[in-house]
Structure 1
Amino acid sequence: MRRVLIVDDEKWVRRGLIQSIGWSEYGLELAGEAENGDDAYTLALAERPDVLFLDMRMPGMDGKQLLALLSAELPELLVIVISGYSDFEYTKEAIRHKVFDYLLKPVRKEELNAVLHKACGELEQREEQQRMAAQGSGRGWFEALLDGPAAEEEAGAAGRMPPDWAGRELIACAGQSDTFTEPADWDAAGLLAGLREQLNRVRPFLFGNGGWDYEAAVLGGSARTVVLAVSARRMERDDVLRVCGILQQVLKGSGCPAASAGISQVKEQGGKLCEAVQEAVQALKGRLLGQQAVILEAGGSPAAPGFTYPSGQERMFLLALQSGSSTAAQQEYTEFHSRISLETVSAGQLQRSSLLLLYAVEKQLQAKGADFTVICGKSPAAYTEILGARNDAASVARIFTAELIPAVSGFYNRLSEKQAGKVVEEMKQQVEAYYNQALSLQGIAQSYYMNPDYLSRMFKKATGKNFIDYLTDVRIGKAKELLKLSNYKNYEIAQMVGYEDYRYFSQIFKKKLGMTIGEYRNAFTCQADLQGREEPCRNH
């Protein structure tokens, strides 16, 4: 049975889909439903569905962010987007991320059936291609199984799983270096050969004097995870731990400073091998960053249950990036990274937080009409795979500090140089028009979504004055005009040019002109009188 997950924040949409799908007709079963992206992400990893119905616009993590996260974890997942007419632009963004198809709300049953028929046909075609590829490549059945999305029961029917595994218990173990290793340091074939040699040596002493079998392979992608499946008449926990210990030793012997392993729950009668592999991989991702060389069992306590994604620090980082200052962006990223790389945070939470930050950067660039791939040299999908392979804080940080931050801040710096003149001119116009109101650099910076310090430096570079001095000069200039051309009282003029405190206005006026308001008025009056006299005003 193929499995379906339905994600929409509107319950009536979920209910409608569940009631409209011909489950038995298409050989489908409901894996679950979720009303937001966060719950959907957790449920998808746990249930491993074949088909996902997804609403793109949801509170919290939206559909686009969820798609990006799941693309690394479930690359074969068929995604069918459901959206309203008003969200069509959003839907086009989903199509750019290679979703399988989309439906418009309200979903019509005939359109739903057409999409389901198409999806089931696609799944059948993929499975057939994988079976043929496995037969023609000479690869082992376990490698072929790991590369394909077919359910483990179908794999057994296709003759890929040995018959004697069917009546036994089985577990899966996933091992990985606790620090990311570069491709040049990775010899997968040599590592697997060494692992088989060590396991064959101990075969007579484990699981009832040799009554067991195993298969080992490397998961696809760049994460470099070694997966070991063990089949025995009865799983003994001590023997399972010993086998995992051997995997850790072999990984360490290949050049890793330390390696950890994740163990699945025991599966009876040889069933659910793919599920066991996924459990082992997820257990491995539960390793806390403060742990080294540990064995983690599926179903244990969740790692760092109190962890919260630092949304506020994300905003500060994005603001610093947009300022064009690489130094400021690096400083803000250091603060962000310190929040997601505590020793009590798991490797999986580190990866997920880094991916969310990556997508936030992409979204910000899109808002500027900029192409992430052109600016950074790699696509978001490529960086998703790169970050998904990093399981330690240092290797994650290097991707941002050495690649992403210099590239993106450089783009904003070039952009800001072009726009600086325009922004400064607009600021000067605002001052001329609203000098009598409570203007602040902080408020203007917020309206431009810019860092106030950066905006201040930019303004001074263009005008030779800081913002407060420029505003003060404009206000004093307006006050001089009013003193010359009107009979307003001095305190009234102070209010008319933006000063509620007359005493403060008087101090600023004298500081700027070297005379009091009264002296300025008398001097101007004397000058006006002199125009009609032959002798100067002796008092001035």
Structure 2
Amino acid sequence: MTNVLIVDDEKHVREAIRYFVPWDQYGVTGIYEASNGREAMELVQQHRPAVVFTDMRMPLVDGASLLEWLHSHAPYTKTVVVSGYQDFDYVKPAIVYGGTDYLLKPVSGKQVAEAAERAFELWNKEKNEREQAFRQKIQLNVLRPLYWDKALSDLVTGRKAYAELASAMEEELGLPSGTAVCRMAIVSLQSAGGRLLRKLHDDVQLTAFAVANICNEILSRDRSGFAFRYWHDGADVALLLWSREPALGLLEEINRSMEAAYRMGLEIGLSAEQPFPDGIRLAFHQAGLALDERNLLGAPAGVQEFREAALPTENAAETEALQPLAERFGLALLTGDPERVGRALAEFCERLTGLPLLTGSVFSRWQEKIMDEIRRWLREWAGDGDARELKLPGYSDEAGNFSLVLWQRRLMELLTELCAEFRLSRTSDSRIVLEIRDYLDRNFERELTLQHIAERFYLSRENVSRKFKQVTGENLSDYLTRLRIDKAKSLIRHTDIRLSQVAERVGYEDEKYFSRVFKKATGLTPREYRKLGGTDGTE
């Protein structure tokens, strides 16, 4: 939309300008008139004209004052002066404030049309330049953070020399010239058992971007450092801190912002102070160690500072005693008896709880050993063809703190399910029932009737019901309902899709019926469950 304003206290002059210019040729959609400068100012603010034709001698506000005002309040607007005076006092404002033409009355149609053409050509040229500059600025704003992610990641690893980045870091990141010391921090995206990742649909890049943005909102306030997504192995988000302001306070403030935005804090490792720039690599290493060596049994999620005295953290005598317990757990698995497995796991966890120090790195190693025992057991009775992927259970509570009790409970839930499957594989009717159950697990979103299942597995409806109940101890319909409700709870908890879509994805065409079934199973309607953040009395 292109607008034009004609300002003159003589109506016939305004009409002549209207008549002489082929407005359609320039895409003009609005032509406005004013009889003095004051009216013109109001119309300019309302309609933002591309070109203003103005007289110089007018009542209330004259042309010179209008040109000066336009220069400040509508700097992109082009002006054409149409005046009956050639006195320099009238010509000067047009020159000073960027008028494109000064026409003397009486004007000819040719003069007005040519002046309009020049004004519109200049307007369009500058408009295109502004738009191109704007597009370049947007592209730069998108690419610049990626540049710093890569550049600072390479600086940490030594792939890029500080001398190559020094001037840009001072100009763009606010690094003070002559900075002599620094600290580094590493933020774990697996904090709170990976809850933040799940909340952002397991998108690592998006999660890292969100965390880095929150960090930089605080760090940019006093230009005390810069957070970036780390491009190599060893970290998710790293912070380079150079301010003399206490680093611990800055990181604690970042965690408070995370809690306000996402209702969870983060686990952050902080290095000791190191010389800048030569000590950056060591600082990064120390930040990683601080994160790995946090005592899970004593400290809540938060900032862990690197301390030389804390290394080495693993007490060999204490942790060596865990090895026979892990082996005993493996033997219990071979029986397929959930009670024996539960006792062995409880004994192992009790010994872990009794350790004076349990770091994240130590716990991860023992957790992996437990999972290795489970995988070996699965291979023995299910064969190498079993391609299932077993995920390590989370060990953080809702506040993001380490909870061995919660980890034990989640692992036992997995083992109970596997033991039941183990027993199924060793009974006479179990194989067909196991196939039926696997079929339900893969097709729960479809309309599944007892008749459909009976026909698929070449059994009578009565046989399907009886065998399923005998082998699993549960009615087939109850199993299918529980499976669907569990899947629905996961969708409600981890996605924002509409409840009608949730119902469809778990096999219910009627949303109202789905809501009744869901409430019977959980005590809450799907809407209430989502409002409470995905918790109910059954969990």
TM-score after normalising by structure 2: 0.40
State which structure, 1 or 2, has the greater radius of gyration over its C-alpha atoms: 2
TM-score after normalising by structure 1: 0.40
Structure ranking higher on relative contact order (CA contacts 8 Å, 6+ apart): 1
